[in-house]
Amino acid sequence: MSELSKSYSPKEIEEKWYKVWEENGYFSAQHNDEKPGYSIVIPPPNVTGILHMGHILNNSIQDTMIRWKRMSGFDALWMPGTDHAGIATQNKVEKWLMEEGTTKEEIGREKFLERTWEWKEKHGGIITKQLRRLGSSLDWKRERFTMDEGLSDAVKDVFIRLYNDDLIYKGEYIVNWCPKDKTALADDEIEHEEVTGKIWQIKYPVKDSDESLTIATTRPETMLGDTGVAVNPNDSRYKHLIGKSVILPLMNREIPIVADEYVDMEFGTGAVKMTPSHDPNDFEVAKRTNLPLLNVMEEDGSINENGGKYKGLDRFVARREVLKDLEELGLLVEVKEHHHSVGHCYRCGTVIEPRVSNQWFVRMQPLAKKALEVVRNGEITISPQRWIKVYYNWLENIRDWCISRQLWWGHRIPAYYSEDGTIFVAKSLEEAKQQAKEKYGKEVELREETDVLDTWFSSQLWPFSTMGWPEKTKDFEKFFPTDALVTAADIIFFWVSRMIMISEYLFDEIPFKYVYLNGIVRDEKGRKMSKTLGNSPDPLDLIDKYGADAIRFSLLYNTSQGQDIFFSEKLLEMGANFSNKVWNASKFVLQNLEDFDYKTSISDLEFKLEDRWILSKLQNAAKGVNNALDGYELDMAAKTAYEFFRGEFCDWYVEAAKTRVYGGDEQDKKTAQWVLRHILDNGLKLLHPFMPFITEELWQKVKLDGETIMLSDFPKYDEALLDKEAEEEFDYLKEVITAIRNIRGEVNVPPSKKIEVIFKTNNESERNVLEKNAKILDKLSNVEKYTIDNERKIPKLTGFRLADNTEIFVPLAGLIDTEKETAKLKKDIEKTETELKRVLGKLSNEKFLSKAPQDVVDKENGIKEELENKLAKLRENLELYKD
């Protein structure tokens, strides 16, 4: 047996084992008919992406679940892949071309797409390499890309089905427009930020009258596109003006005054400028009141020819010029600060410009009904439950989805136009021409749609397009619907709801059974991590420093379902320390198995109390971890495995076993060795889903058979192996030892000093445990001698504790410096009294109680209770030293 190195070095172990796992195909689902299927599809990271802390948490959760299922007898598939990320990737390639001194327009669409594929092949695999560093056991042989050939076929198929069912249409509507990326965006791709801007009041003269209407706007440049002014029909101030006109300042254009109940009589002046081509609410009013549309902006946000002398100016430059001219004309009435929400592009951060445009849309309301039903009836579970209300609210108020994007990189919309504007939707130009020939009775020239589909259109097909659909593949038959989706809550609209809608539409079937919405990894101050704030560590640097296992375990241990994690490197120290503990405990066990016969039969053994106890505790741990993972409570599963391995195995059983492996009784030694090997074997298996690398390395040295721990059997609960009596007896012994250690600690008796203990008990069971476990008492609490004597006179200077029905006395004479301890205790009492006085003063201060938040008051009450308990204990200890 090869010896373990003195200290744990994660880097060499992690690099070695991932290569072995992947080369041997251990991650691959096998289509084993004897095993039930279990599948998860990865939320596809952008092909432009690099690993961040959110990815670390999300993929650690998925990998833990898939490794557990794989070890639990499932044919498990974790589907990998990346998203083509339309806007983000096109931006990257455009920057690349700029560095070469050219643009996409100069090289043309076909050449640009060639260069984009080139960029993707060169740079697109960064994040998948990084996921390997994390230990993600993805089935890389099945890796997909949202623009690979099979997925592209699926996209066309779905588009055509939706179009033929009148669920996709094209029309001129107001959309969210990004002037930087020059494309439309869906409502849920807009990030709204609260900003402090200005609101300007402008005077609009009423035609042929001395009157004027004062309107308020936060975007004065859009007045160039005004086609009316609206007032509420019930507003007595303006009833006499309805049907008349105003003269639009700066443009000297006559525009009508219309009535619509949309106008809030209480807000502002009660008169609202109507710019239907550049405001979604105005667009709706215009449809009801027949106001014309007038677009005054180019795709890049500059003013077009409809803006008169302002043509060519950027929208924000035009704003300054418009305001200057209004002021010169005496038409600028008032300027105020104004707090309002402004939409920004979720990709580049540019301020969105609502703009009328001819776009493709999906009718969402018919699709949303079933998606609501399957969550309401429990077919799909969303966790944490608080997100269900958000999900309902979104779907109940859903608007049609703008799916066309004015980009070159993406799935080109499968539509073709004849000269008269007739649309033919087909998978290819040949199919479209055949449709046109049937319509016109002759062959006609067709023009292909230039727009591409929103990236989320292809992503919504991910749970089944990755399985080979629309072909009826083995993967599709076995692994769809998938079992779980683990993703971030912020894409519940973009992605989660749309996958459910489209799956129900196509198959009348849910795409997954369980949605786990993980929390956000924030910094210590609760801020989201970002490059701008400089608070986002490089995960690869952390992996180099601590090891992937330590990072995974630390995050999983601290990730209550859906709760955000407040991250600091200190958090990772727990995982790193635990990794070292696992290593060192395993090293001790392996060192003491050198002369052990691994073929030893259980029938050859004679179990002691501690053996029966740890074997029973293993059943409890197996039950706890399996139950927690079954309920997707990963923190509880990690804590259960941790407490078993570190607490029960390392801190108690290993220490107790040392009296036997170093003793002279060969039979006793053999039993202890068998139990040490058996518990280490199973303990590593319990930890493997959380900490794959270190457990593989160690298991290879302790295993009885098998190629890899990841394909071994996960420990299962066996009630027949429970030993309640042994648990009660050894837990009692632990309580006794802990009591003795506490007495030592409180009066500063070093652990190395031998002590005497006097026990008094009338409980026969407790007496038997104490009598039969002298070696453990000596080993774990350094007891030189002890007596169980209810009549024994107790010396005055004695430490005392109670364990169940047993009184525990530790004579302290000669073990401590009484004067020194008395002085120290008095000093501690004085210091604690001062601290308590300060807290009591605060809690008796009415001003503090009335102004402080309740959580602050609760915290102070907690401190008060701690200090009072501490003071009582210090005074109790001081009594020991009094004559």
Distances in Å between the alpha carbon of 137 and those of 57, 134, 272, 453? Answer: 15, 9, 58, 31
* Residue-by-residue DSSP string for 704-766: SS-S-GGGSPPP---GGG--HHHHHHHHHHHHHHHHHHHHHHHTT--TTS-EEEEEE---HHH
* pLDDT at position 188 over 70: no
**pLDDT digits over 104-157, tens only?**
999 999 999 999 999 999 888 899 999 999 999 999 999 999 999 999 999 999
- The two most distant CA atoms of the chain are separated, in Å, by 118
- Quote the Cα angle for 438-442-448, to 5°: 75
Instruction: Please give the residue that has the higher pLDDT: either 3 or 791.
Output: 791
Give the per-residue pLDDT at 427. 96
DSSP 8-state assignment for residue 172? E
Q: Which two tokens stand for residue 209?
A: 């009258």
Backbone angles phi, psi at 171, to 5 degrees: -165, 165
Q: Which two tokens stand for residue 741?
A: 């250690």
Q: Name the residue type at position 745.
A: G
CATH 1.10.730.10 location in the chain: 546-702
Backbone angles phi, psi at 558, to 5 degrees: -110, 15
Q: Name the residue type at position 204.
A: Y
**pLDDT digits over 560-608, tens only?**
887 889 988 999 999 999 999 999 999 999 999 999 999 999 988 999 9
d(CA 198, CA 342) in angstroms, rounded, equals 12
Residue 863 DSSP SS3: helix
Q: Which two tokens stand for residue 292?
A: 């014309």
d(CA 123, CA 121) in angstroms, rounded, equals 6
What is the percent of the chain where pLDDT is above 70? 99
Q: Which residues are paired to 253 by β-bridges?
A: 248
Q: Name the residue with tokens 């095993």.
A: 35
d(CA 269, CA 336) in angstroms, rounded, equals 14
Q: Identify the H or E element spanning 823.
A: helix 818-843
* pLDDT at position 707 over 70: yes
CATH 1.10.287 location in the chain: 819-880
Give the per-residue pLDDT at 183. 85
Give the per-residue pLDDT at 80. 98
Q: Which two tokens stand for residue 487?
A: 């993703």
Q: What is the band of 12 on the pLDDT scale with cuts at 50, 70, 90?
A: confident
Give the per-residue pLDDT at 532. 67
CATH T-level fold of 546-702: Isoleucyl-tRNA Synthetase; Domain 1 (1.10.730)
* pLDDT at position 228 over 90: yes
8 A C-beta contact, residue 779 and residue 765: no
Please name the residues in contact with 757: beta carbons below 8 A apart, sequence gap of 6 or more. Answer: 740, 777, 781, 783, 785, 786, 787, 808, 809, 810
Cis ω before 205 (30° cut-off from 0): no
CA atoms within 13 A on the CB side of 334: 9
8 A C-beta contact, residue 220 and residue 323: yes
8 A C-beta contact, residue 632 and residue 561: yes
Q: Which two tokens stand for residue 380?
A: 């799909």
CA atoms within 13 A on the CB side of 777: 23
Q: What is the band of 226 on the pLDDT scale with cuts at 50, 70, 90?
A: very high
pTM of the predicted model, to two decimals?
A: 0.84
Give the per-residue pLDDT at 343. 85
Q: Identify the H or E element spanning 788.
A: strand 783-788
**pLDDT digits over 827-872, tens only?**
888 898 899 999 899 888 888 888 888 888 888 899 989 888 878 8
- Rounded average pLDDT over 203-212: 93
* pLDDT at position 480 over 90: yes
d(CA 862, CA 866) in angstroms, rounded, equals 6
- Return mean pLDDT, the chain: 92
* pLDDT at position 213 over 80: yes
- Rounded average pLDDT over 699-723: 96
Distances in Å between the alpha carbon of 749 and those of 441, 659, 783, 826, 880? Answer: 104, 23, 12, 18, 14
CATH T-level fold of 183-354: Isoleucyl-tRNA Synthetase; domain 2 (3.90.740)
8 A C-beta contact, residue 64 and residue 83: no
CATH 3.30.2320 location in the chain: 727-816
Backbone angles phi, psi at 492, to 5 degrees: -65, -30
8 A C-beta contact, residue 271 and residue 230: yes
Rounded to 10°, the helix 569-591/548-557 angle is 110
Pick from 317-331, 391-405, 848-862: least confident: 848-862
* pLDDT at position 81 over 70: yes
CA atoms within 13 A on the CB side of 761: 24
* pLDDT at position 655 over 70: yes
Question: What size, in residues, is the chain?
Answer: 883
CATH 3.90.740.10 location in the chain: 183-354
Residue 67 DSSP SS3: helix
**pLDDT digits over 773-788, tens only?**
988 998 899 898 889 9
d(CA 203, CA 879) in angstroms, rounded, equals 87
d(CA 552, CA 14) in angstroms, rounded, equals 13
Residue 294 DSSP SS3: coil
d(CA 709, CA 703) in angstroms, rounded, equals 8
* pLDDT at position 69 over 80: yes
Distances in Å between the alpha carbon of 476 and those of 3, 101, 272, 466? Answer: 46, 46, 55, 8
Right CATH for 727-816 from 3.30.2320, 3.30.70, 3.30.420, 1.10.10: 3.30.2320
Give the per-residue pLDDT at 883. 59
Pick from 54-63, 105-114, 170-179: least confident: 170-179
Instruction: Please give the residue that has the higher pLDDT: either 185 or 225.
Output: 225
Right CATH for 819-880 from 3.30.450, 1.10.540, 1.10.10, 1.10.287: 1.10.287
Q: Which residues are paired to 247 by β-bridges?
A: 254
Q: Identify the H or E element spanning 170.
A: strand 168-178
Is 531 known to sit in a ligand binding site?
A: yes
